[in-house]
Amino acid sequence: MTSKLTADRAELEVEPRSDAPATPAVDTALIEELPTFELFFKTFGFKRIHGRVWGLLVLSRGPLSSREITEQLSISQGSTSTALTELTEWGAIRSEFDSSRRCHLHSPVGNALSIVATVFRRREQVAFQQFKQATTRSLEFVTKRYGPRDPRVVTLRSIISTCEIGDALMELVFSAVNGALGDPESILSKAINTALKLGVGLPARVLLGDERRRLADLLDGSAQETTEKE
């Protein structure tokens, strides 16, 4: 059903062609960096095409249409639509309809931390789910063949419970982190924003000196403000 909706959406969003020569959306030197994006996504259990599409949007001069992505990467329209749909679900890209071009334009989400959090959460949840499913199958087999009093039953049930607890704790932690990042007044948000500013604006050697103390002072000040409010 999803594939059909994706295909229908792709057919409706056919951008009118122009006879004017198009300026490349991404420089050749930057296109050569796309394999790095592919490898990063593949490392965490995703497909290479996800990293390739996301990398293209990151390195592009501006938002791209589905057709532009398809032509730039030399992939099928169906593959492009599927990748865009899944990247949107993971919070890695945003899509907006451009009335002048009569199609959706896609761009990367600016908050890379939220993307990384989503990637890690998905990877860990998949690992827990697979382990839990395999253990559940083993428990059913042992219980059916050897009875509920078999000593392995206790261990297998313990593993299942542990997976459920671990999954719940991860969801709680990631929800808390995302909530803190969305609150500009939270200690975590202030610390991360300061770290990013220092990392971008100053060389690493400076971060080992006065700037580290500035970050520590910020954290102490934020903690004190929180205590006073409470």
Q: Once rounded to an integer, what is the mean pLDDT over residues 179-200? A: 58
Spatial neighbors of 111 by CB under 8 A, at least 6 apart, are 181
Residue pair 26/59 in contact (Cβ under 8 Å)? The answer is yes
To 10 degrees, what angle do helices 66-73 and 77-89 make?
120
CATH of the domain at 88: 1.10.10.10
Same domain, residue pair 95 and 187: no
Q: What is the pLDDT of residue 202?
A: 43
Write the pLDDT tens digit of every residue in 130-178.
899 999 999 999 999 999 999 999 999 999 998 888 888 777 766 766 6
Provide the domain count of the chain. 3
Radius of gyration for the chain, computed over Cα atoms and rounded to the nearest angstrom:
24
For 229, the domain range is: 183-230
pLDDT tens profile 84-142: 998 888 878 889 998 888 889 999 886 666 666 666 677 777 778 889 999 999 999 99
DSSP-derived secondary structure letter, 45: T
Mean pLDDT in residue range 181-208: 53
What is the DSSP pairing of strand 93-98 with strand 64-65? Answer: unpaired
Q: What is residue 98's three-state secondary structure?
A: strand
Q: What is the pLDDT of residues 68-82, one digit of tens each?
A: 999 989 999 999 999
103 and 118 assigned to the same domain:
no
Q: Which of 61, 84, 110 is the last residue of a domain?
A: 110
Contact indicator for 57, 93 with CB cutoff of 8 Å: yes
What is the predicted pLDDT for the residue at 183? 61
User: What pLDDT is stored for residue 32 in this prediction?
Assistant: 87
Same domain, 229 and 147: no
| Token couple for 95 | 């899509």
3-class DSSP state for residue 111? coil
Q: How confident is the model at residue 83 (pLDDT cuts 50, 70, 90)?
A: very high
SS3 184: coil
What Cα–Cα distance (Å) separates residue 199 from each residue in 141, 192, 203? 54, 10, 7
Residue 173: count of CB within 10 angstroms of its CB: 12
Same domain, 17 and 106: yes
Structure tokens at 82: 């599927």
Task: Clarify whether residues 69 and 94 are in a common domain.
Answer: yes
In percent, how much of the chain has pLDDT > 90?
Answer: 25
- What amino acid occupies position 88? T
- If you write DSSP's letter for every residue of 154-179 in order, what string do you get? HHHHHHHHHHHHHHHHHHHHHHHHHH
Least confident stretch, 37-51, 58-72, 161-175, 215-229: 215-229
Sheet containing strand 93-98, strands side by side: 64-65, 103-108, 93-98
Answer for the pair 214, 195: CB distance below 8 angstroms, yes or no.
no
In this structure, are 6 and 77 located in the same domain?
Answer: yes
106 and 120 share a domain?
no
* Cα–Cα distance measured from residue 39 to residue 81, given in angstroms and rounded to the nearest whole number: 21
Whether 125 and 96 share a structural domain: no
Of 17-21, 31-35, 132-136, 216-220, which one has max mean pLDDT?
A: 132-136
